[in-house]
Amino acid sequence: MQDITVKTATVQSVIHCGAGAFESYAHRLKERQLFIVTDSTVNKLYSHLLNSVFGESTPKFVIAAGEKSKNTRNLLAILQKMLESGMHRNCCVVAFGGGVVGDIAGLAAALYMRGVHLVQIPTTLLAQVDSSVGGKTAVDMDGVKNVIGTFYQPEEVIADPRFLSTLPKREIRCGLGEIIKHGLLNAEIFKKLKENEKRLTNLEFLEEVVYSNIAHKAKVVTEDEKETNGLRKTLNLGHTTGHALELLYGKLSHGEYVLIGTYYELQIARKYGICGGQYAKDVEKLICKVLKKVPSFDGIERAADLAVHDKKNDSELISVIVPKCEGECAEIKLNKEDYKQYLRQISDNLRG
């Protein structure tokens, strides 16, 4: 078990990472006034554990599992229940679940009485390696992803890979999407992924990579908490296209769309001559290992209309972060028509 620290201008978050972290650190939280947020699936699997550690009388809000729950209605319902439960300014919100729970509970913690304590206990691979670290909180509104949100750092994150043992294979694949993204930004992570291509979904291997992924994200957030110097923007690799496809089609999960987005953006980088040779082949192989089949989409050019409204763009141009060479990425700014054409071509090529 190891601790990683995120230090920003205003707070210092400690991430307890490793098998057994929950057992070692969760019981200390009992000393505070707690409010738990979780989802229906996680609650079914772990309510017994939560009751035994925090006590049955600890107030808890359970949202329905899935992205659709990340909405303003649930956000207000959480705040209402916090008020009804008599939560005071010193209370602590415990987000126990995947990225959906982490994002909405984090936002509720930021808003209640202008901000109360927050502890993230991520239970999916994606939440452990990515969403629980860095303080981005949000809900979706009117089909726009993460449009209402704020930066709000958790005081503590308890990332215990033991929770991954109940996670369906598909959710493991979703987490691998963000892990591969980190691999394209960090040569050491990429090397580990390449060397372990045959056991990417193996729990022992995942335990190893959770730590290096959190360490990478923690370093980026420490250096650029609010995406002001460009470093944190690199974490959006795969996301411009991924988010747009997620909004447009919505059948797969966030992590799967990120991985598909990474594949499409790799092909754009190839067309621009930014990424190529053996490295581009290795990246593609890794993505295909996890996705099995990269889908083509009917009407994919409509994704460009959504990508243009992405929060990452500061003009009418679409910002795409693409892989360049081991551990390095580049930003391309595309006009809408070019981006449409690339997406269409790549999708057509996949149809064969």
- Chain residues that interact with ligand NAD, rule: CB under 6 A: 39, 41-42, 45, 65-67, 70, 97-101, 103, 123-124, 126-127, 130-131, 134, 136, 146, 163, 166-167, 171, 174, 253-255
Q: How many CB atoms lie within 10 A of CB 65?
A: 18
- 114 belongs to the catalytic site: yes
- 239 belongs to the catalytic site: yes
CA distance 203 to 254: 21
> Least distance (Å) from ligand NAD to the CB of residue 127?
4
> Least distance (Å) from ligand NAD to the CB of residue 90?
24
- 173 belongs to the catalytic site: no
Q: Single out the catalytic residue among 156, 171, 225, 227.
A: 227
- Nearer of residues 166 and 335 to ligand NAD, judged by Cβ: 166
Q: Single out the catalytic residue among 173, 216, 217, 340.
A: 217
Q: Single out the catalytic residue among 16, 145, 181, 239.
A: 239
CA distance 91 to 82: 10
- 254 belongs to the catalytic site: yes
- Alpha carbon separation from 265 to 191, 271, 288 (Å, rounded): 21, 10, 14
> Least distance (Å) from ligand NAD to the CB of residue 301?
24
Q: Single out the catalytic residue among 114, 251, 292, 351.
A: 114
- Nearer of residues 253 and 347 to ligand NAD, judged by Cβ: 253
- 89 belongs to the catalytic site: no
Query: What is the residue-wise DSSP string for 97-165?
Result: ESHHHHHHHHHHHHHGGG--EEEEEE-SHHIIIIITSS-EEEEEETTEEEEEEEE---SEEEE-GGGGG
Q: SS3 letters for 21-61? A: HHHHHHHHHHHCCEEEEEEHHHHHHHHHHHHHHHCCCCCEE
CA distance 80 to 308: 35
- 136 belongs to the catalytic site: yes
- 182 belongs to the catalytic site: no
- 27 belongs to the catalytic site: no
- 311 belongs to the catalytic site: no
- Alpha carbon separation from 82 to 11, 35, 77 (Å, rounded): 24, 7, 9
Q: Single out the catalytic residue among 236, 246, 265, 340.
A: 236
> Least distance (Å) from ligand NAD to the CB of residue 120?
10
> Least distance (Å) from ligand NAD to the CB of residue 152?
10
- Nearer of residues 145 and 270 to ligand NAD, judged by Cβ: 145
Alpha-carbon 122 to chain mean position = 11
Catalytic residue numbers read 114, 136, 178, 217, 227, 232, 236, 239, 243, 254
